[in-house]
């Protein structure tokens, strides 16, 4: 089988995830190469240990870079700390005013609080970067390469976490609003209220996008090995709880050769797991990709992988 439906014009966001080392980055790039043939495509890495540049053999960073040899494809590696520092700079006055009006903190306390790293903030900033790109609308497809399972799940859960923070901030503001309106008789919304409302709208937009079957798809990548399959089952269960749709799965590193005793043993060893994949993911479009004789690096092997994923080559050829 081949990956299906990615060329649907409505589908904007395609996220690749799975256990460490199973081929997420390779498959994300290969799919981005396929999309770039017909769509203006942005390939985004949210993995703090970025590997797009190594795999594509050209420098990429936290800025859009055209991929040489792949017209229509641009890539970016998100650096969450940088995204956070840009965000803080852009909203420092609202953030300071929020703490100033809602707490007893002095300026030093507020500055210290704002320099703290909050759990989950990296994923929130990564997702905010993605949604900002999508809303700018300069590309037609956005392909996301994630770090291993836990990170991808935190990424998906990040709007909920941001929503919880907004609720706490809104509660803090409520007391301030109450005091002002008691003394002044009325309360006029200020830039902090507008800022919180803006964040709330961002959360809603991300949640709507993630749960929209037509606009967003998650593609898990696994290999025919016990732990990778177990982790994919867990990943898909957690995605379902978050309302994110997945209906196809890549099974990478399938041994096809029988040229040596080693190959025959690996192939026989994989067989029960290939059957298990069929059993535990019923109804899924399962795309098998053979184990290549070399690592997947550079456009030549990436294009070969693309041909397997989009079935310009059959798996046993
Ligand atoms: N089908 C394949 N045949 C041979 N080598 C492969 C295949 N798929 C991936 N590889 C190689 O396996 C290694 C891991 O692949 P990749 O970086 O795509 O995985 P990943 O899931 O993104 O890893 P990480 O979790 O570290 O981000 C790389 O060296 C890649 O070249
Ligand atoms: Mg990777």
Please write down the HEC assignment for all residues of the chain.
CCCCCCCCCCCCEEEEEECCCCCHHHHHHHHHHHHHCCCCEEEEECCCCCCHHHHHCCCCECECEECCCCCCEEEEECCHHHHHHHHHHHCHHHHHHHHHHHCCCCHHHHHHHHHCCCCCHHHHHHHHHHHHHHHHCCCCEEEEECCCHHHHHHHHHHHHHHHHHHHHHHHHHHHHHHHHHHHHCCCCCCHHHHHHHHHHHHHHHHHHHHCCCCCEEEEEEECCCHHHHHHHHHHHHHHHHCCCCCCEEEEEEECCCCCCHHHHHHHHHHHHHHHHHHHHCCCCEEEEEECCCCCCCHHHHHHHHHHHHCCCCCCCC
pLDDT at position 6: 96
Residue 152 CB less than 6 A away from ligand 1: no
Note the pTM of the prediction, 2 decimals. Answer: 0.92
Q: Report the residue among 16, 21, 155 best suited for mutation to probe ligand 1: largest number of ligand atoms under 8 A from its CB.
A: 21
Distance (Å, rounded) from C-alpha 289 to C-alpha 126?
29
- Distance from the alpha carbon of residue 202 to the mean position of ligand 2, in angstroms: 27
Domain boundaries, the chain: 13-80+123-157+209-309
Ligand 1 within 6 A of 26 CB? yes
CA of 147 to the centre of ligand 2 (A): 6
Among residues of the chain, what percentage have pLDDT more than 70? Answer: 97
At 166, list the tokens: 């907004």
Q: What does the pLDDT read at residue 112?
A: 73
As a whole number, mean pLDDT of residues 277-285 equals 95
pLDDT attached to residue 189: 78
Among 37-41, 106-110, 169-173, 309-313, whose mean pLDDT is lowest?
106-110
Question: Under the phi-then-psi rule, with left for phi > 0, alpha for psi from -120 to 50, and beta for the rest, what region is 102?
Answer: alpha
pLDDT, tens digit, 9 for 90 and up, residues 221-264: 999 999 999 999 999 999 998 889 899 999 999 999 999 999 99
Cβ–ligand 1 distance for 148 under 6 Å, the answer yes
In terms of Cβ atoms closer than 10 Å to its own Cβ (0-12, 13-18, 19+), residue 132 is: exposed
User: Among 296, 300, 309, which is best to mutate for testing ligand 1, by the most ligand atoms less than 8 A from CB?
Assistant: 296
In angstroms, the CA 246 to CA 286 distance is 11
Which residues, at least 6 apart from 9, have a Cβ–Cβ distance to it below 8 Å? 140
Which ligand is closest to the CA of 77, given by its number?
A: 2
Residue nearest to atom 4 of ligand 1 (CA): 292
Provide the pLDDT for residue 316: 56
The ligand placed nearest to the CA atom of residue 55 is 1
Does the CB atom of residue 284 touch ligand 1 within 6 A? no
Region 8-26 average pLDDT: 97
The reply to whether ligand 1 has any atom less than 6 angstroms from the CB of 24 is: yes
Instruction: Kindly state the average pLDDT of the residues 107-123.
Output: 75
Q: What is the pLDDT of residue 313?
A: 64
Report whether residue 30 contacts ligand 1, using a CB cutoff of 6 Å.
no
pLDDT at 106 over 80: no
pLDDT at 213 over 60: yes
Query: 317 pLDDT exceeds 60?
Result: no
Percent of the chain with pLDDT over 90: 63
| Ligand 1 contact via 297 beta carbon (within 6 Å) | yes
pLDDT category at 315 given cuts 50, 70, 90 is low
Distance 25 CA to ligand 1 centre (A): 7
Residue nearest to atom 18 of ligand 1 (CA): 23
Q: Are 19 and 232 in contact (CB under 8 A)?
A: yes
- Residue 178 to residues 100, 154, 174, 193, Cα–Cα distance (Å): 16, 35, 6, 14
Return the minimum-mean-pLDDT range out of 49-63, 91-105, 173-187: 173-187
- Mean pLDDT rounded to a whole number for the chain: 91
Query: Which CATH class for the 13-80+123-157+209-309 domain?
Result: alpha beta
Give Cβ neighbours of residue 126 (< 8 Å, ≥ 6 apart).
Answer: 46, 78, 80, 83, 155, 158
Predicted pLDDT at 258: 93
- Ligand 1 atom closest to 292 (CA): 3
Residue the block writes with tokens 């890539």: 75
Lowest mean pLDDT: which of 59-63, 98-102, 199-203? 98-102
Tell me the C-alpha to C-alpha distance, in Å, between residue 312 and each of 3, 26, 168, 255.
11, 17, 52, 19
pLDDT at 251: 98
Read off the pLDDT of each residue in 197-206 and give the average, rounded to a whole number: 90
Question: What average pLDDT score do residues 30-39 get?
Answer: 98
Ligand 2 center to residue 222 CA distance, Å? 12
- Residue to mutate (ligand 1; options 18, 26, 219, 309; most atoms within 8 A of CB): 26
């Amino acid at each position: 089988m081949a990956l299906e439906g990615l060329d649907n014009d409505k589908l904007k966001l395609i996220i690749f995830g799975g256990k460490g080392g199973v081929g997420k980055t390779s498959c994300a790039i290969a799919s981005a190469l396929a999309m770039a043939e017909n769509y203006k495509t942005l390939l985004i890495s949210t993995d703090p240990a970025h590997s797009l540049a190594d795999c594509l053999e050209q420098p990429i960073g936290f800025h859009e870079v055209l991929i040489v040899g792949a017209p229509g494809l641009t890539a970016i590696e998100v650096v969450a700390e940088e995204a956070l520092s840009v965000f803080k700079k852009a909203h420092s006055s609202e953030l300071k005013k929020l703490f100033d009006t809602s707490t007893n903190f002095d300026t030093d306390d507020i500055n210290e609080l704002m320099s703290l790293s909050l759990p989950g903030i990296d994923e929130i900033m990564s997702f905010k970067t993605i949604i900002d790109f999508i809303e700018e609308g300069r590309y037609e497809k956005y392909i996301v390469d994630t770090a291993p399972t836990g990170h991808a799940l935190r990424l998906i859960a990040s709007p909920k976490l941001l929503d919880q923070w907004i609720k706490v901030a809104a509660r803090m503001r409520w007391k301030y609003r109450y005091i002002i309106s008691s003394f002044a008789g009325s309360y006029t919304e200020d830039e902090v209220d507008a800022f919180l409302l803006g964040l709330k709208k961002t959360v809603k937009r991300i949640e709507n996008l993630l749960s929209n079957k037509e606009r967003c798809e998650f593609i898990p990548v696994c290999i025919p090995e016990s732990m990778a399959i177990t982790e994919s089952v867990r990943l898909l269960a957690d995605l379902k709880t978050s309302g994110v749709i997945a209906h196809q799965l890549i099974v990478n590193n399938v041994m096809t050769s029988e040229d040596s005793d080693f190959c025959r043993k690996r192939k026989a060893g994989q067989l029960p797991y290939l059957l298990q994949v069929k059993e535990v993911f019923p109804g899924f479009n399962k795309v098998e990709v053979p184990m290549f004789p070399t690592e997947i690096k550079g456009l030549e092997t990436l294009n070969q992988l693309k041909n397997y994923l989009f079935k310009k080559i059959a798996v046993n050829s």
